[in-house]
Structure 1
Amino acid sequence: MDSFIGSSAALGAVVGVILALTGAGGAILAVPLLLFGLHLSIAEAAPVALLAVTLSAAVGAVMGLRAGIVRYRAAVLMAVAGTVVSPVGLWLAHHLPNGPLTLLFALVLAFVALRMLVQTPSKANPVLYAAQPLPPCQLSNATGRFVWTASCSRALALSGVGAGFLSGLLGVGGGFVIVPALRKATNAPMHAIVATSLTVIALVSASGVVSTAVAGRMNWSVGLPFATGALLGMLGGRRAASKLSRRHLEQGFALVAALIALGMVVRVVIGT
């Protein structure tokens, strides 16, 4: 039992370091690590991953709130939309066979890896950026807050729905949905987008954790040490993150994610 707890904590620490080095999207590797490391099914691993994501994202969200960079009205709107849809994903996760669910997760992981490999820095070319239409959510020069319109509310709510559904279904925080959505729908600076994304992830993931716990489907003997390890790993990895190239880290993460996605597909094929 002690070795099992130790293995769970060690895997959590790996996830925490990945979170510190690559950002919120790195949490998507939590489920595959539980799948291969502790031999859990997707339905069993997803709530455990959500618990770790909730605690880790909450730390980042609190830091962002203290710095005053979280667009909290946008975060609340997205989180409410995601929280409404998250139980649907949870229900599907426990009613779909493990094989198709694993393949779906591998597909999402491969998509995240591909996008990280080919993405370009946001707004790198001011001439090209100026030629693009303005995003629906504009920050007011006077207040520093979003000017709320129907198109702005709709764009943010839809991204929250997507993040909430995937959070419940696959146990991922949804940072790989929220961050690109905020980059496309708003003119907020990147540090505000990341902080706002972490706030949404913390709120939506927390709702998934509560739903799972109420249903009696949370494996606390795995979840608590895993989440603790992730939190400690993230706090420890923050120092190393500032000394390494962000782009190289993202490329390395993408390659690892692609290999893991391939491994998940092979596992399903061999198991059938």
Structure 2
Amino acid sequence: MEIHQLIGYGLAVLVGISLGLIGSGGSILSVPILVYVMGIQPVLAAAYSLFVVGVSALVSGFQKAKDGLVDFKKVFAFGIPTLIAVFFTRKVIVPSLPEIIKITDRFSLSKRELIMAVFALVMIMASWKMIRPMKEGQTLKSVNSLTISLVGLGIGLVAGFVGAGGGFLIVPALLFLANTPIKKAIGTSLFIVALQSLIGFLGDITQQPIDYPLMLTFTGCSMLGVAIGNRLSKVISGEKMKTIFGYFVLCMGIYILIKEIWFSA
């Protein structure tokens, strides 16, 4: 095993810690680790990420459920639209993208650059959600079920395109749109992330050559992190960790955007 793989597997523990602690951020970490440390192409890294995050989030979700921190009614009501959107995106949209995407007459992006650029922008937007304080019980005006379903579809499209589980978007949506306390929003989000990520991965099985030993080893390391994250969540304020993680995501998103767009121009 090469040194960069050992580093990558070590960093995979952080993926699980993030999921166990704040219910999101798994793909924000796993995709860059797989691409920049493990040397995997972004499209394939996105597929691996869906599996890693899906399994890790499911394990963490069951642990949260034991503590009564999962609203299963909202798992299905909010999660079904995201499942549909993720599967369609991974099965139809991503494979149909050309290798070179022309933006203007003088500027074009490869599929790799486009995926990583979109991922970076999503990270920057997500960081704003995580940095902003969310007080338990804070809500916006009530919205109808159609609006919540449309939000779920939008999250699923983003998640499927960049290989992100979408927890960093689902948690605020559950908190503000569905009037869910922050701790229960995190636990509920984990099941939604797990379902949509694993369904998204099924759409990739016939599209990508899968290195199962690498993917399963990475997943095992992430699950170790889940156990650590869940334990930490009982003694450390999730809101405080969410804010710190938000700044980390902001810096990483800016770095990827500059690296993929500025230096490739």
Q: Does 1:118 align with 2:132?
A: yes
In 1, Cα distance between equivalents of 2:69 and 2:229: 22
- Alignment TM-score, normalising by the size of structure 1: 0.81
**Residue type at the aligned position of 1:61:** G
Contact 1:9 1:229 survives alignment (8 Å): yes
**Alignment CA distance shift 1:163-1:41 (3 Å):** same
* Residues 2-81 of structure 1 aligned to structure 2 (within 5 Å): 3=3, 5-81=5-81
Q: Which residue of 2 aligns with 1:200?
A: 192
Give the Å deviation of 1:67. 4.4
SS of aligned partner of 2:164: coil
In 2, Cα distance between equivalents of 1:100 and 1:112: 18
Q: Which residue of 2 aligns with 1:255?
A: 247
> What is the aligned-residue RMSD (CA, Å)?
2.4
In 1, Cα distance between equivalents of 2:23 and 2:180: 18
SS of aligned partner of 2:25: helix
Contact 1:20 1:238 survives alignment (8 Å): yes
**Alignment CA distance shift 1:248-1:83 (3 Å):** closer
In 2, Cα distance between equivalents of 1:195 and 1:175: 10
In 1, Cα distance between equivalents of 2:115 and 2:206: 23
User: Which of these two proteins has the greater Rg computed from alpha carbons?
Assistant: 1
Contact 1:155 1:185 survives alignment (8 Å): no
Which runs of no fewer than 5 residues in structure 1 stay unpaired? Answer: 137-150
**Alignment CA distance shift 1:93-1:217 (3 Å):** farther
**Alignment CA distance shift 1:102-1:216 (3 Å):** closer
In 2, Cα distance between equivalents of 1:83 and 1:116: 23
Q: Which residue of 1 aligns with 2:105?
A: none
**Alignment CA distance shift 1:16-1:41 (3 Å):** same
**Residue type at the aligned position of 1:121:** K
Q: Deviations over 1:180-215 (max 9, x none)?
A: 111222233333322221111111111011221233
**Alignment CA distance shift 1:185-1:114 (3 Å):** closer
SS of aligned partner of 1:227: helix
Q: Which moved more, 1:74-83 or 1:102-111?
A: 74-83
Q: Does 1:191 align with 2:183?
A: yes
Q: Deviations over 1:73-114 (max 9, x none)?
A: 331233322222113322433425111221111111011112
Q: Which residue of 2 aligns with 1:235?
A: 227
**Alignment CA distance shift 1:67-1:28 (3 Å):** same
In 1, Cα distance between equivalents of 2:73 and 2:181: 16
Which runs of no fewer than 5 residues in structure 2 stay unpaired? Answer: 99-110
In 1, Cα distance between equivalents of 2:180 and 2:15: 28
Q: Which residue of 1 aligns with 2:104?
A: none
**Residue type at the aligned position of 2:9:** A
- Alignment TM-score, normalising by the size of structure 2: 0.83
